[in-house]
Amino acid sequence: MSEEKPSQPKLPPTSALDNPSSPEFENWFEYPVRVQPHQTDYAGLVWHGSYIAWMEEARIECLRSIGIEFADLVAIGCDLPVVDLSVRYHRSIKLGMAVLVKTRMAEVTGVRINWDYAIVSTDGQQLYVTAKVTLVALDSERGRIMRQLPASVKDALAKISALNKN
């Protein structure tokens, strides 16, 4: 008589963000990264905090691509701190691997700016990380949340919104 081993419990299926080749990831800004030694732990796997740094770099480069320099925001007294962050780790990334950090602005509600992220293989076949980040416009001189986004920021973000809809 053979004994049957109980099967290992399985995680429930997740959202469409688990499929990197889905149309969900088309028309996103892409930021290439190659994993450096200082971004890994002792096992040669990317340290969780490195992903967050890559996402911020991708967001800043996305803004730069439409004409918003972060230094200009600082100069006009507008800071964009993170107020909410949600990260899901799907697979590990190893030392030396090349990946793409994909980002897009999801929506702007008042002074809140929501961004989506996906970190995928360069061929788009493997999904490593998905994330959502919410920023809020802050008057850096007064240390208070702004009542509305500066006009120049609002105009530039409208450009990103238009690109995301195409």
Q: How confident is the model at residue 166 (pLDDT cuts 50, 70, 90)?
A: low
Percent above pLDDT 70 for the chain: 82
Alpha-carbon span 64 to 77, nearest angstrom: 18
Region 24-47 average pLDDT: 92
Please identify which of the residues 18, 41, 116, 139 carries the catalytic annotation.
Answer: 41
Encode pLDDT of 11-24 as tens digits.
Answer: 444 443 444 444 56
pTM of the entire predicted model:
0.80
Distance of CA 35 to the CA centre of its chain: 17
- What CATH number was assigned to the domain covering residues 29-164? 3.10.129.10
pLDDT for 164 equals 66
Is there a catalytic annotation at residue 41?
Answer: yes
Alpha-carbon span 3 to 38, nearest angstrom: 48
Alpha-carbon span 166 to 39, nearest angstrom: 35
Encode pLDDT of 3-13 as tens digits.
Answer: 555 554 544 44
Residue among 160, 3, 157, 149 nearest 76 (CA): 149
Sketch the domain layout of the chain as residue ranges.
29-164
